[in-house]
Structure 1
Amino acid sequence: MIEALDTFLAVAAHGSFSEVARRQDVAVSSVTRKIDALEAELGSRLFHRSPRRLALTDAGEQFLPRARNILGELAGAKEALQAADGEPRGLLAVTAPTVFGRRHVVGALASFLRRYPDIEVDLHLTDQIVDLSEQRMDVAIRIGVLPDSDLCATQLAQVRLITCASPAYLARAGRPQTPEALMDHDCITVATPPAPGFVWRYAGVNRNQPLPVRGRYRTDDKDGMLQAALQGVGVLHMATWVVCDHLRSGELVALFPEEATAPAAPGTPGIHAVRLPGRSHAAKSRLFIDHLRAEIGEIPWWDRLPGTDPRA
């Protein structure tokens, strides 16, 4: 029954027997048999099946949250029994934005796994907002202003943006002495309108409205923006967690270092770890979030930049 419930949730999530079979590395007939057996046990059809489409029936829609709860309760009971042994164990599913995950979550997970040898981790890196319940994720790292929700959120850090450029660009174009001077420079910008917290805004400049900077290079990829700045394409306005190593090495120069220590304005984006309340694996989720917060530090290590005092 447990395997059948797992398979039911997987098929409901992916909308395909063959996709679930591929992910589980089994024959399609194996997936079909489990769903057939579950439908026979329940006495109801859970899916409308046709050559072109697979969709939940009304009974399937009603059963879906109950199936999640059944497996959640079972996993919670199992975790509680394991916790009695004193050592956390089992699977933890984590999702994070691609660039942040590669730069800051993978290293934290490595030390987390060394600390807790009986825990396994599935890490999913994506820039899409993942539905924790539907995708059965335990912890999600989210960057931005969190909307109101039922999720339990822990702030790991505030996002600090810093304006910088390569020495080669500054030698060629000159160093802007004020934010207003950026209007006369090639600025590396996004190809689509940025979220409100990520615009080129400076306290007391342009009536505190975003500067309408321009440049010849635009992309929505953070690494693409960073690499262009390193190649001297233009001025970059980027989160410190992206550019910190390049500022320390001198490959990039902070144009207005006070940005790294300026008080955060209302509505400043944050970096949060979120989890579903009452979900199984809650103990492991809390352990990982606490570990990640300790790895980042009360003052995030990426905000401790040359020429700045992060305590200001």
Structure 2
Amino acid sequence: MSPISELAFFTLLMRVGSLAAAAREMNLTPPAVSKRLNLLESRLGVRLLNRTTRSISLTAEGELYLMSAQRILDEINEMERQVSSSRAEPKGLLRVNAPLGFGRTHVGPAISSFAKRYRDIEVQLHLTDRPINLPDDAIDVAIRFGELPDSRLIARKIATNRRRLCATPAYLEAFGYPEKPKDLAQHSCIVLRQNDAAFGSWRFNRGKLTETVKVGGSLSTNDGEVALKWALDSHGILMRAEWNLAGHLRSGRLVEVLSDYETPSADIYAVYLERLNLSAKVSFFIEHLREFFRSKSDSSEAWP
């Protein structure tokens, strides 16, 4: 097994979350997958995973290996894309889907600069917060946040982003700062009802410990901008992506809480079907998005 195939094997294993799921994905038996993992750990001389009959979790060495593996594979994919993709100017219709708020604030401006750069491309931007099925919904590229459950799709990270908890100084002065995730049960929390995510269940990580807290409050909505407005009106604590909160945190209108805990990933991805992997219009658009958001992250104020 080559080093590159070992990297791909381990990242696949962690993406699907279990030896059995990896076996199904690779058309192998679970014992064969377990043997392959044992050989990898034996070659490295370290244990990468803690294993039980029902679950797997990363060791410290496994976390380092996974992080490096993902970076190396991304660099290889990018190199191959640059070598093999057509360098002709992109032409034709490109259909893009993005979440409502983020689409208005960031994807729309990114498409504007893309259209000025490539005059022969036509872009249709569809904004919705409902889940879509790429083959069925006639979308070429979808912009999505966090972990992606469908392994049949290609996902390219275009920006780093994270979820943060915050409230106004007035709310925190009146009701106090939560010191631990479990303290949130005693607070009014503003809950977003979006997609099929578990309603009102907030997950936190600290070291190797994971804690899920059921939160609640008098206000809930399926619209992120409404939830943010309620938080600014001092109705409670909100968990929201950094792109939506950064300006208010810098201005002091909102204050971050429980900042020493990690929340689920909210990194931003461009998602598309494998058959479009060598499409010039898709490749050029995704590279443009990466440049657009890289310029934000390189500035002193990554998100407005």
TM-score range, shorter chain: 0.5 to 0.7
The C-alpha deviation readout for 1:153-195, integer Å capped at 9, x for no partner, is 2122455211101122223323334434333221112357972
Q: CA separation in 1, counterparts of 2:194 and 2:142?
A: 24
Where do 1:217-232 residues align within 5 Å?
217-232=219-234
Say if 1:305 and 1:136 are closer, same or farther in 2 by CA, change over 3 A: closer
- Percentage of identical aligned residues: 40
- Compute the displacement of 1:196 (Å): 5.8
Q: Indicate which of 164, 167, 172 corresponds to 1:165.
A: 167
1:95 counterpart = 2:90: no
In the alignment, structure 1 segments of 5+ residues that lack a partner are 1-82, 307-312
Corresponding residue for residue 268 of structure 2:
271
Q: Indicate which of 277, 282, 285 corresponds to 1:288.
A: 285
Say if 1:115 and 1:142 are closer, same or farther in 2 by CA, change over 3 A: same
Residues 139 and 285, structure 1, Cα contact 8 Å, conserved in 2: yes
Residues 244 and 303, structure 1, Cα contact 8 Å, conserved in 2: no
2:144 alignment partner, SS class? strand
Residues 248 and 305, structure 1, Cα contact 8 Å, conserved in 2: no
Where do 1:1-312 residues align within 5 Å?
86-157=88-159, 159-191=161-193, 195=197, 199-204=201-206, 208-259=210-261, 262=262, 268=265, 270-279=267-276, 282-297=279-294, 300=297
1:210 alignment partner, SS class? strand
Residues 193 and 199, structure 2, Cα contact 8 Å, conserved in 1: no
1:216 alignment partner, SS class? coil
Say if 1:247 and 1:256 are closer, same or farther in 2 by CA, change over 3 A: same
Q: CA separation in 1, counterparts of 2:300 and 2:169?
A: 21
With 230-239 and 280-289 compared, the bigger mean Cα shift is at 280-289
Q: CA separation in 2, counterparts of 1:170 and 1:89?
A: 53
- Compute the displacement of 1:200 (Å): 2.2
Paired residues, what number? 218
Q: CA separation in 2, counterparts of 1:186 and 1:241?
A: 23
- Compute the displacement of 1:280 (Å): 9.7
- Compute the displacement of 1:269 (Å): 5.3
Q: CA separation in 2, counterparts of 1:198 and 1:160?
A: 18
What is the identity, as a one-letter code, of the residue corresponding to 2:204? Y
2:213 alignment partner, SS class? coil
Residues 241 and 302, structure 1, Cα contact 8 Å, conserved in 2: no
Q: CA separation in 2, counterparts of 1:118 and 1:150?
A: 30
The answer to which structure has the higher strand fraction is 2
2:122 alignment partner, SS class? strand
2:269 alignment partner, SS class? strand
RMSD of aligned residue pairs (Cα, Å): 3.5
Q: CA separation in 2, counterparts of 1:181 and 1:113?
A: 48
The C-alpha deviation readout for 1:4-59, integer Å capped at 9, x for no partner, is xxxxxxxxxxxxxxxxxxxxxxxxxxxxxxxxxxxxxxxxxxxxxxxxxxxxxxxx
In the alignment, structure 2 segments of 5+ residues that lack a partner are 1-85
- TM-score between the two structures when normalised by the length of structure 2: 0.61
Say if 1:182 and 1:279 are closer, same or farther in 2 by CA, change over 3 A: closer
Q: CA separation in 2, counterparts of 1:270 and 1:198?
A: 21
Residues 247 and 305, structure 1, Cα contact 8 Å, conserved in 2: no
